[in-house]
Amino acid sequence: MKIIDVIASPGLTGFYFDDQQAIKAGAAHDGFAYLGEPQTPGFKAVRQRGESISVMLILEDGQVASGDCAAVQYSGAGGRDPLFLAEEFISIIMEEIAPMLIGQNLDSFRHLAGQIEDSKRPNGVRYHTAIRYGISQAILDGVAKAHQKTMTEVIVKEYELPMVLEPVPIFTQTGDDRYDNADKAIIKRAGVLPHALINHVETKLGNHGELLLDYVEWLRNRVLSLGGDDYRPVLHIDVYGTIGIAFKDDTEQMVNYFAKLEKAASPLHLRIEGPMDAGSIKGQIEQLKSLRDALKVRGVNVEIVADEWCNTYEDIVKFVDAQAADMVQIKTPDLGGIQNTIEAVIYAKKFGVGAYVGGSCNETDAGGRTAVHVSLATRPDQMLAKPGMGVDEGYMIVHNEMNRTLALLKYHFHGHELMRP
């Protein structure tokens, strides 16, 4: 099956682009917007609408395969590629990427996605991670349609993985509405919650960690009272380095604090993402490993999740090799082609490190659905409900795609095939 044409359309994402540099410098809220001038190149406001580009591959039998190019909320920050705006990148896709795709056979996802991943612009620069991300989604969808398979089956076959017909836990994020949205996640019986966006010491963590401690106690009590006796989700909280700030990166103080958090969460299991930000990948690996080792010595069973400075496939390999964290977040748009997420999950699991297929609230429904197939094939410990910050929409998209796919796979492997002569 060949690709005979490529078309593209501008779109919106499930959240917004935020100028992290301006926010860290003190940009104040103005309703849902921010006051002040943007500081990161490309931004016209501190908060502006998230944009995407849908890429559609026209197949020779008339089918259409698609994927969405999208970037994370904090684009242009922390070494990431610049702000991804549709009007600036759609012409690049049509003029430079489309000719590479037209006429190609859709016989191997890994081969064709790898070709695009390794390609460079006429000026010798690699294509924006968002472009590689969306194009790889469309290629995966195209190979699946060409072979009349699900995307899950394509990944399982090409990477020689076992087919496991069981769901993957879904991680919901509450954003700043960490109480009402936690209730939503509990009512929907999410496997992992609530993220909680603890990104400021004074107002969210507390100078001595007291605000987060109170929140964890509330969350535990809310799960037990609202969720019932048969619901025990994992608590996963992203603290954006604030614990390191509050406790001045003192490992002993942080271990004492983690012991309090573990007690507050009990009987629920607790994960803390990004406890500190060391300012470099080398420093982050060293500090996370030191904290992880100290927690094990003390018998504190709170898991550490790597996020800051763990952006690319190469970064993930370094964190895994150092055994610096119990789990790595694999932020799908930051890795470029979706094949890099597949390989990152496989690598982390090979060396006994937890894998979290994450991403961004600032993605689209297409990215969320593709991540489901990646997760069903590679079996990470959890996957993110995305896009958006409202719980309901992102959870619905990911949950329903997973259940649809599992039903189809069970029909194919256990129902339909058994009825054939």
| DSSP assignment string, 204-242 | II-TTSHHHHHHHHHHHHHHHHHH-TT--PEEEEE-TTH
What DSSP string describes 175-206?
Answer: TT-TTHHHHHHHHTT-SEEEE-----IIIII-
The answer as to whether 420 is a domain residue is no
Lowest mean pLDDT among 70-79, 92-101, 190-199, 371-380: 70-79
| Position 413 confidence tier, pLDDT thresholds 50, 70, 90 | confident
Segment among 72-76, 269-273, 405-409 with least mean pLDDT: 72-76
Q: Are residues 90 and 175 in the same domain?
A: no
Give pTM, 2 decimals.
Answer: 0.95
Average pLDDT along the chain: 95
Q: In this structure, what CATH number is given to the domain that contains residue 303?
A: 3.20.20.120
Q: What's the pLDDT score for residue 108?
A: 97
Q: Is the peptide bond before 82 cis (omega within 30 degrees of 0)?
A: no
C-alpha angle 4-9-11 in degrees, rounded to nearest 5: 145
Do 202 and 97 share a domain, yes or no? no
Question: Does residue 331 have an active-site annotation?
Answer: yes
Rounded to an integer, the average pLDDT of 133-153 is 98
189 shares its domain with 87: no
Domain count, the chain: 2
75 Cβ neighbours under 8 A, 6+ residues apart: 17, 40, 42, 81, 82, 83, 84
| pLDDT given for residue 20 in this prediction | 82
Q: What is the DSSP letter of 337?
A: S
Same domain, 125 and 249: no
Kindly state whether residues 208 and 112 are assigned to the same domain. Answer: no
Q: Do residues 88 and 202 both lie within one domain? A: no
Query: Has residue 165 been placed in a domain?
Result: no
Interval 259-269: pLDDT, tens: 999 999 999 99
- 388 and 269 together in one domain: yes
At 24, is the pLDDT very low, low, confident or very high (cuts 50, 70, 90)?
Answer: confident
What percent of the chain has a predicted confidence (pLDDT) above 90?
A: 92
Q: Which of 113, 129, 158 is the last residue of a domain?
A: 158
Q: Are residues 315 and 399 in the same domain?
A: yes
416, part of any domain: no
Boundary (domain end) residue, out of 127, 158, 189: 158
pLDDT confidence band for 78 (50 / 70 / 90): low
227 and 367 share one domain: yes
Q: How confident is the model at residue 172 (pLDDT cuts 50, 70, 90)?
A: very high
For 226-253, how does the pLDDT look when each residue is reduced to its tens digit (9 = 90+)?
999 999 999 999 999 999 999 999 999 9
Position 222 in a domain: yes
Q: Is residue 219 part of a domain?
A: yes
Say yes or no to pLDDT of 17 above 50.
yes
- Phi and psi torsions of 56, nearest 5°: -120, 125
Count CB-CB contacts under 10 A for residue 316. 27
421 inside domain:
no
In this structure, the dihedral spanned by the alpha carbons of residues 297, 301, 307 and 308, taken in order and rounded to 10 degrees, is: -40
Which range among 65-79, 123-137, 400-414 shows the weakest confidence by mean pLDDT?
A: 65-79
Q: Which of 145, 184, 204, 331 is catalytic?
A: 331
366/280 Cα distance (integer angstroms): 32
Is 101 among the domain residues? yes
Identify whether 23 is part of a domain: yes
H helical segments located in 300-355: 313-321, 338-350
Where in the sequence is the domain holding 199, given as residue range(s)?
A: 170-411
Please compute the mean of the pLDDT values over residues 351-378 and round it to a whole number.
97
pLDDT digits (tens, 9 = 90+) for 279-305: 899 999 999 999 999 999 999 999 999
**What was the pLDDT predicted at 412?**
86
CATH number, domain of 50, equals: 3.30.390.10
Structure tokens at 384: 């993110």
Q: Closest by alpha carbon to 306, among 294, 315, 295? A: 315
Do 319 and 345 lie in one domain? The reply is yes
**What pLDDT is recorded for position 415?**
66
Q: Which of 158, 188, 211 is the last residue of a domain?
A: 158
The number of residues in the chain equals 421
pLDDT score at 146: 98
Q: Is the pLDDT of residue 417 over 70?
A: no
Instruction: Determine the average pLDDT of the residues in 147-154.
Output: 97
Query: Cα angle at 359 between 53 and 37, to 5 degrees?
Result: 70
> Is residue 21 domain-shared with residue 109, that is, in the same domain?
yes
Residues 179 and 151 in one domain: no
What mean pLDDT comes out for the span 357-383? 97
